[in-house]
Amino acid sequence: MAELPKDIEEAIAQSIEATKAALADGYRRLQVEIVIPELKALGVAEKFLPAVEEYGEKLRVYFPDAGAAALARRDWGEKPFTIRGMSEIKGQMEPEDEVYLFVEPSSVEVNQLEKMCQEAGERAVILLLPRLENIATIGIGVAGRDLRERFLKTIESCYYIQAREGVTIFRCYPSPWQVWLEVGEDYELISETPQKPVGDALDDILNKALGVGEVAEGSVPGQPQPQAKRQGILSGLKSFLKALSQ
């Protein structure tokens, strides 16, 4: 069973192994999500390269725009693979390509990303630190729902970590989705599920772990019960994020 990483270096190392394992098992659309707003995508991408560098000239690395790609070429030095912006003519996909790495694609580029994934066909596509679920951009109506059903749901999260409100949602392929609850100075595993726990499913997991809704000893049946206060139990989020992003 995968354990929570202690720092960003360990998180990236875990994500590399998870990506390699998923590719070996035949997955062709993957994403790696380390949900920390302060993270610099360029630095994370450079450390993530060992996951795909072995493909050499058959790898293409895409950034959302030509400027970000130029910075990567400058900072990374000479590489055997192509590094381009998604819209650059020189970055067009070629028949001999085998793997495509998209660094920090956002909801602004989601339509172009979908087209490029279609063009990739059965070749592997990896989204590193994607930001695709901006409701203001992709919409909450029929168009947004269609996009999720048609495209976003075809992408497998092989690595995911997000800490919020003292709860960490974690997935490191091939392990299932996990929910870790902060307890004092440590974290305790409270759930493993085959699908990402969100919305009511996540609430149910937390309520069960915290005893919310259970009848307290000595209380009168039928009378309203005081809810457990999560804030006191689920403190320390900032310290975990700080440690993870060092």
Residue 131 falls inside a structural domain: yes
Q: Say how far apart CA 131 and CA 110 lie, in whole Å.
A: 9
Residue 232 falls inside a structural domain: no
Residue 129 falls inside a structural domain: yes
So what's the pLDDT on residue 9?
94
Q: At 25, which CATH number? A: 3.40.50
Residue 238 falls inside a structural domain: no
So what's the pLDDT on residue 145?
73
Q: Which two tokens stand for residue 155?
A: 């992408």
Residue 220 falls inside a structural domain: no
So what's the pLDDT on residue 221?
42
pTM, to two decimals:
0.84
Task: Write 166-169 long-range contacts (CB < 8 A, 24+).
Answer: 166/230, 166/233, 166/234, 166/235, 166/236, 166/237, 167/202, 167/206, 167/234, 168/4, 168/240, 169/196, 169/197, 169/202
Q: Flag residues of the chain having pLDDT under 70.
A: 133-144, 213-246
Q: How many domains does the chain have?
A: 1
Edge-to-edge order in the sheet of strand 99-103: 82-85, 59-63, 99-103, 124-128, 29-34, 156-164, 167-172, 177-183, 186-193
So what's the pLDDT on residue 132?
84
Residue 240 falls inside a structural domain: no
Query: For residue 92, what are the domain limits?
Result: 8-200
So what's the pLDDT on residue 125?
98
Residue 210 falls inside a structural domain: no
Residue 234 falls inside a structural domain: no
